């Protein structure tokens, strides 16, 4: 994915969820921020494919039991992408490239 970023199709959900519990705040309306982010030309939405779904159940262990994190990590692995996350459980997982 050189030169382009990707977001998984359900990626707005964790942003909205975190915002609803005040764990994440936006400088503007959250819906506007998500829409603006999805309109960035170099960003593309990665669909949740059967391959990503399968790979999310086959991650090298140990990995924690959060199905959303499993799908996010599997997406990054299938896409050979660097996963941008502050999540310490994902950041210390050695089988995905991550940054923050």
Q: Which residue has the tokens 């896409």?
A: 79
Q: What is the pTM of this model?
A: 0.71
Q: Are 89 and 64 in contact (CB under 8 A)?
A: yes
Quick one: pLDDT at residue 21?
Answer: 63
Quick one: pLDDT at residue 98?
Answer: 92
Of 56, 51, 55, 40, nearest to 7 (Cα)?
A: 40
Q: Which residues pair with 84 in a beta bridge?
A: 99
Taking 70 as the pLDDT cut, the residues of the chain under it are: 1-25
Q: CA geometry: angle at 83 spanning 45 and 62, to 5°?
A: 120
Quick one: pLDDT at residue 43?
Answer: 77
Kindly list the domain boundaries of the chain, sorted by start residue. 5-99
Instruction: Look at strands 98-99 and 43-46 and give their pairing.
Output: unpaired
Quick one: pLDDT at residue 45?
Answer: 78
CATH architecture, domain defined by 5-99: 3-Layer(aba) Sandwich (3.40)
């Amino acid at each position: 994915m050189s030169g382009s970023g990707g977001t998984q199709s359900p990626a707005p959900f964790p942003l909205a969820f975190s915002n609803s519990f005040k764990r994440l705040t936006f400088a503007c309306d959250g819906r506007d921020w998500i829409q603006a982010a999805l309109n960035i030309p170099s960003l593309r939405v990665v669909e949740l494919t059967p391959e990503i779904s399968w790979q999310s159940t086959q991650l090298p262990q140990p990995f924690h039991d959060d199905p959303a994190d499993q799908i996010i990590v599997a997406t990054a692995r299938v896409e050979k992408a660097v996963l941008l996350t502050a999540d310490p459980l994902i950041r210390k997982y050695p089988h995905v490239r991550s940054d923050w």
